[in-house]
Amino acid sequence: MRVLSGIQPTGRFHWGNYFGAIKQYIDFQEAHDGYYFIADLHALTTIREPDVLRGYVYDAALDLLALGLNPEKATLFVQSDVPEVSQLCWLLMTGAPLGLLERCHAYKDKTAKGLRADVGLFTYPILMAADILAYDSNWVPVGEDQVQHIEVCRDLARSFNAHFGEVFTMPEAKIVPGAAKVPGTDGEKMSKSYNNTLALFGDPKELRKKIMRISTDSRPMEDAKDPETDHLFQLLRLFATQEQIEEVRAIYLKGGFGYGDIKKRLADAADVYLEPSRKRRLELESNPEKVREILRLGALKARERASDVLTRAERACGIKSQS
């Protein structure tokens, strides 16, 4: 099965990015044909500083490789290095119903929060559909909040196929348990938009300080607490061993503890978990040419696949001759 997913370089990756998406990339690469891209075109809807965007793209490549994405098992590339996707996006836009985009919750949610709305944000699902369809993708691993975008992709592909023949492979959403549900420092979904993230890489001491400042409720120490409804416990279980999780669960149910102790346990567990990746990232930082070569080769492979799909679509709709 061919698995396709992308991640936006809109800042340094955080725990939500890893446990909601990146970890699944790494798991899927062992048994599937994985195409994973750094979505710089999508990032233009929020980042308007060229040097900042270039820096985020390179950092994203370093982070993904350090976290375990293996270029010998999966294809890693930058979205804009495959111009065929943008061309395919236009073909899809010509048949995309306006009402379909107006119903997309990502657009409605962002505008409701007062974030800048533009055509790029509005047509985001069409570019996402082009990303998926360009590689004859079978599975797209997503959290529940992204399922609607896959349905939009399927609607566009179904409509195109109905008009012009069986051009596109019909993708399926691969629901990832727990994806997009990592709580932030305030208990809400972890997101750069909410300024509640915990970084995967950076100064471990600064990370520990931020963990110790995580907001908690004001219930007395002696009260028993339900671990399943506590965001601090939800964060701890991402990193801790099963034995550690059960030990802390018992502490919650018994009561008589301070959240400061749980925060220290969380910081310790995260430090142990992330240390190997930190070391790999330092090694990659010392060899930037290797990183750029991985991205170059990944883009070449991705372009070859996308070019075949684009040509198929162009011939079907009359842009190019059938010969």
Is residue 58, in this structure, part of any structural domain at all?
yes
Do 27 and 145 share a domain, yes or no? yes
**What is the domain count for the chain?**
2
Contact (Cβ atoms closer than 8 angstroms) between residue 3 and residue 33: yes
Say what the pLDDT of residue 309 is.
Answer: 98
pLDDT of amino acid 112: 75
Residues 296 and 274 in one domain: no
- Domain residues for the domain of 228 are 202-282
Whether 164 and 305 share a structural domain = yes
Instruction: Please tell me the predicted confidence (pLDDT) of residue 98.
Output: 87
Alpha helices in the chain (DSSP H): 15-17, 23-28, 40-43, 50-67, 84-93, 98-102, 105-112, 119-122, 124-133, 147-164, 204-212, 231-239, 242-254, 259-285, 288-317
* Residue tagged active-site, from 23, 73, 181, 192: 192
My answer on whether 292 and 264 are in the same domain is no
Task: Supply the pLDDT for residue 147.
Answer: 85
- Asked if 168 and 244 sit in the same domain, the reply is no
Q: Is residue 261 located within the same domain as residue 134?
A: no
Active site residue: 189, 210, 264, 301, which one? Answer: 189
How far is it, in rounded angstroms, from Cα 55 to Cα 53? Answer: 5
Residue 187 lies in a domain: no
Q: The domain that contains 207 carries what CATH number?
A: 1.10.240.10
Q: From CA 210, how far away is CA 267, in angstroms rounded?
A: 9
Residues 275 and 292 in one domain: no
In a domain, 194, yes or no: no
pLDDT at 222: 85
pLDDT of residue 176: 66
Q: What is the pLDDT of residue 143?
A: 73
Task: Give me the pLDDT at residue 99, please.
Answer: 85
- Residue 242 structure tokens: 């099963």
User: According to the model, what pLDDT value does residue 113 have?
Assistant: 72
Examine the domain organization and report whether 138 and 48 are in the same domain: yes
The question of whether 209 is a catalytic residue gets the answer no
Tokens of 200: 């995967």
Same domain? 75 vs 91: yes
108 counts as catalytic? no
In a domain, 190, yes or no: no
The residue annotated as part of the active site, out of 23, 110, 210, 301, is 110
Say what the pLDDT of residue 310 is: 98
Q: 122 with 107: CB under 8 angstroms?
A: yes
**Which of the residues in the chain have pLDDT under 70?**
106, 115-116, 176-180, 323
Same domain membership, residue 45 and residue 167: yes
| Residue 323 pLDDT | 62
**Does residue 15 contact residue 49 with C-beta atoms inside 8 Å?**
no
Evaluate whether residue 323 is within a structural domain: no
In a domain, 16, yes or no: yes
Is residue 126 a contact partner of residue 94, using CB atoms and an 8 Å limit?
A: no
Instruction: Indicate whether 221 belongs to any domain.
Output: yes
Q: How far is CA 318 from the centre of its chain?
A: 35
Residues 126, 254: one domain? Answer: no
User: Does residue 188 belong to any structural domain of this protein?
Assistant: no
Catalytic residue check, 73? no
pLDDT attached to residue 21: 86
Task: Please return the burial class of 198, using the count of CB atoms within 10 Å of its CB with bins 0-12, 13-18 and 19+.
Answer: buried
DSSP class per residue in 36-48: EEE-HHHHTTT--
What is the CATH classification number for the domain harbouring 66? Answer: 3.40.50.620
**152 CB-near residues (< 8 Å, 6+ apart):** 100, 101, 104, 125, 126, 128, 129
One domain for residues 312 and 228: no
Q: Give the pLDDT of residue 116.
A: 65
Radius of gyration of the chain (CA): 21
